[in-house]
Amino acid sequence: MKCIILAAGYATRLYPLTKNKAKPLLEVAGKPILNHIIEKVEKIDSIDEVYIVTNEKFTSSFQEWVTNYQGDKLVTVVNDHTTTNDNRLGAIADIQYVLERHEINEDIMVLAGDNLFEFELLDFVHFYHEVNADCISSHELDDIEEMKRTGIVEVNEEGIVASFEEKPSKPKSNLAVPPFYLYKSSTLPLFKQYLAEGNNPDAPGNFIPWLIQRRNVYAFTFEGLRHDIGTMESYEKVQKLF
């Protein structure tokens, strides 16, 4: 299995903090957000390589991070060669860029580089092997306004995703979908097909409603907190919590 960490955004909502620093490299509790994520990835023996996909602006910063990395995974920084928020590829196009550039044909784990979470990715992988199918992660929310700002899924009694809606005005459930995914190797060609059909290349969740029309996707529901660091307020909040 390979792991792709999405880190090609420009985080303009966090300016001036991220004007010259990639969001995953912002520190929380004395270490970069990326370190918190990688420590959970390291517990998964089946992952033998991690690809951090970023842009022209921050490639050297991530390469410097890799030179100081003390863990046991092979880490490769992939430059998608975009230069501004206006010409960015989008997360789904970035996944496809890594798949093509590095000729990946194994199962993949996809993670956003700007989320902190309590659950163990190893549990997510165990679930994935049990169902032997593509998987998303999900967790319960109790704040209706928060539900309207994220992806929401309905899941049937077998744990299969029945519907997915990004930022719904009237959420159909309280199951939110953070950007952590596991895809089978047989699914990888579908990223190219999705993009070739002219679908939205941006947020990684956009791929899910298209995918569930073609194959079963299971939801792994985790407990514990998850923090999406997208604004100054959310960054300040995790600073206090951690």
Our count of domains for the chain comes to: 1
User: How confident is the model over 223-232, as a mean pLDDT?
Assistant: 86
| Whole-number Å distance between alpha carbons of 160 and 162 | 6
Q: What's the pLDDT at 167? A: 86
Q: Residue range 128-156: average pLDDT?
A: 92
Take residue 77 and report the two structure tokens written for it: 């920084």
Task: Compute the average pLDDT of residues 197-202.
Answer: 95
**Domain coverage including residue 189:** 2-241
SS3 state at 41: helix
Higher pLDDT, 227 or 183: 183
Q: Is the pLDDT of residue 151 over 90?
A: no
- In this prediction, residues 191-205 reach a mean pLDDT of 95
Is the bond preceding 209 in cis, omega lying within 30 degrees of 0? no
Q: Which pLDDT does position 228 carry in this prediction?
A: 85
Taking residues 193-210, what's their average pLDDT? Answer: 95
**CA–CA distances in Å: residue 229 to residues 14, 85, 103, 163:** 9, 17, 31, 26
Mean pLDDT, the chain, as a whole number? 94
pLDDT in tens, 34-60: 999 999 999 999 999 999 999 999 999
pLDDT (tens digit per residue) in 78-120 = 999 999 888 999 999 999 999 999 999 999 999 999 999 999 9
Strands (E), 156-200: 161-166, 175-177, 180-183
Q: Is 25 left (phi over 0), alpha (psi -120 to 50) or beta?
A: alpha
Q: Give the per-residue pLDDT at 133.
A: 98
CATH number at residue 184: 3.90.550.10
